[in-house]
Structure 1
Amino acid sequence: MSIAVSGVTGALGALVARGLRLEGVNPRLVVRDPSRLADWTGADVAQAAYQDTEAMTRALDGVDTFFLVSGHEDPDRVSLHLSAVEAARRAGVRRIVYTSFMGAAPQATFTYARDHSRTEQAVRGAGIALTAMRDSLYADVAPWFVGKDGVIRAPAGQGRVAWVARRDVARLAVALLTGDGHEDQVYDVSGPHSIDLHETARALASVTGRPISYHPETLEEARTSRAGNPHWLVDGWIGSYLALATGEGAVTSHTIQHVTGVRPLSFEEFLDAEPDAWAHLV
């Protein structure tokens, strides 16, 4: 079985590629800029960007399974994904394991969840078997929601989120890429339990030793506090919080433990295990 991994210069892709190597699999690393790869001696590297369908088709030649990491936030992200999917179809890729988002659906509150739904549909439409990892919000990014004044401001109401550690998502991805029985499956991927943003703030305050709190914004306050940024980006940021307010982000699943045999970290356990994630707050 030949496996290709995209996004290797990013945090998740790198974790997945290293995890595969530990399992004795030498994946093909599909990257836009090979010069950004470090410590990958002997790696099978192919250069291609999502939007370059011809280069991506060459990069995926002979690949059976493609780990497609969703692209960075971009107003044109869906078209980038669709180009990569078309390249996979042309190359004869049999299965795509895709990093989707919790609650992906055409009418999802979170605009990016709608984008993920379109990508999932495109994979199926291309005749490629899909393994969709619908990830909850990453615990790794939660500390960055804290403002300089120690306040998390968000229109999330009393909504809850099952923060999931990126390292646990990577462990799951390795298992899905190398294991059997995951074709045409959709997996909700979360931490072990959901907490609200008040609890999130208290956990961050506990490890950092500084006052951190949560202020539930109104929609008007949310737009005012993010003024000056591109409207599509503001809509995405706000949408992610509104999805918590509606309950779309509160889903908890046993996927990680069921597939890998190891329980994922809770948010508090993640903070204890990954001090570098919140060191900038101290």
Structure 2
Amino acid sequence: MALTGSTGALGGLVAPALVDLDPLLLVRDASRAPALGLEVRVADYADEASAVAALQGVDLLLMVSGAEAQDRRDQHRRFIRAAATAGVGHVVYTSFAGAAADATFTLGRDHHDAEQALRESGMRWTFLRDNFYADVLPFFADRSGAIRGPAGEGRVAAVARADVADAVVAVLRDPAAHAGATYTLTGPEALTLAEVATRAGAVLGRDLRFEDETVEEAYASRRAAYDAEDWQLDAWVSTYTAIRDGSVAEVTDDVRRLTGHSARSLEDALRG
């Protein structure tokens, strides 16, 4: 078994929970690998040759989706080709709720492309489509405590990152039972951003509020504040429009089905 993402927030929860299975850690920078007494190999999604070499002898692979980038689709496809070339048998991929070619959330389209590449690869696959992270949403707020974006009264079934990690661990411990399966990982309820602000503020001790914007205002405010490319602006703004149009409102029971415990509430996610 090989794990990517162990230096990140999600993979950093998964790797320690699987130490007993002696997984291999694939990282871009060996100096940042967690000190778990596990074998570490260096590979980069964008470097197909290095990935083929690093994946030799691996049958089961956790592929945590790569960092946001304009060429992320190409990076994902390079790594998937490398896995197939190296003889990997089963890839567990962290995708996004509602991944589709026409997903409102533009980065959901990247995830759809990776899913398609895996379907066509000849390898077995399992897709874990997580919603937006409940423990991240409150930190969209600016210094004044305002979460601003064109989300309107739309709802989001945000999931605790810890629940996604628990689901990943459950699948990796019994991969054959989940081959060819797609799971949508959500929290226990769908909340408006106004509700997120009120409830998260109570936990964090901050005066948080939601302020709706038009799409035009959202682009203008972000262009003024950040030196960002169009694809990044599209991703930021579509986070809110995906909430507004209901794309991320579905609540599922997949966290409980996989982990045996109920999905954490917003408050539980923030308390850790």
What TM-score do the two structures reach when normalised by structure 1?
Answer: 0.93
1:25 match: 21
In 2, Cα distance between equivalents of 1:99 and 1:268: 24
Asked whether 1:114 is paired with 2:109, we answer: yes
Structure 1 partner of 2:162: 167
RMSD of aligned residue pairs (Cα, Å):
1.1
Residue of structure 2 equivalent to 1:127: 122
Matched-pair identity in %: 43
**1:7 corresponds to:** 5
Per the alignment, residue 189 of structure 1 pairs with 185
Matches within 5 A, 1:11-90: 11-21=9-19, 24-41=20-37, 43-90=38-85
**Secondary structure of 1:63 counterpart:** coil
The corresponding residue for 2:96 is 101
Shift in Å at residue 213 of structure 1?
A: 0.6
CA 1:140/1:205 → structure 2, altered by over 3 Å: closer, same or farther?
closer
Contact 1:19 1:170 in 2 (8 A): no
Q: 1:65-124 CA deviation, whole Å, 9 max, x = no partner?
A: 110011111001011100110010001111110010010011111111011000000011
Check whether the contact 1:102–1:249 (CA below 8 A) recurs between aligned residues: yes
Equivalent residue number for residue 278 of structure 1: none
Q: Name which of 211, 221, 235 aligns with 1:215.
A: 211
Tell me the distance in 1 between the aligned counterparts of 2:170 and 2:34.
24
Match for 2:17: what amino acid?
G
**Which of 133, 140, 154 in structure 1 is aligned with 2:135?**
140
Superposed structure 1 runs of 4+ greater than 3 Å apart: none
The normalised TM-score by structure 2 is: 0.96
The superposition leaves residues 34-53 of structure 1 with CA deviations (integer Å, 9 ceiling, x where unpaired) of 01124222x11111111111
SS in 2 for 1:187: strand
Task: Flag structure 1 segments of 5+ consecutive residues without an equivalent.
Answer: 275-282
Q: Distance in 2 between matches of 1:187 and 1:82?
A: 21
Mapped partners of 1:38, 1:65: distance in 2: 20
Shift of 1:239: 1.1
Give the deviation of 1:209 after TM superposition: 3.0
Indicate conservation of the 8 Å contact 1:201/1:214, yes or no: yes
Say if 1:98 and 1:131, in contact at 8 Å, map to a contact too: yes
What secondary structure does 1:226 align onto?
helix
Q: Aligned partners of 1:15 and 1:131: how far apart in 2? A: 19
CA distance in 2, matches of 1:66, 1:159: 36
The number of equivalent residue pairs is 268
Q: Which residue of 1 aligns with 2:266?
A: 267
Residue in 1 aligned with 2:256? 257
- Separation in structure 2 between the aligned mates of residue 231 and residue 123 of structure 1, nearest angstrom: 28
Residue identity opposite 2:31 in structure 1: S
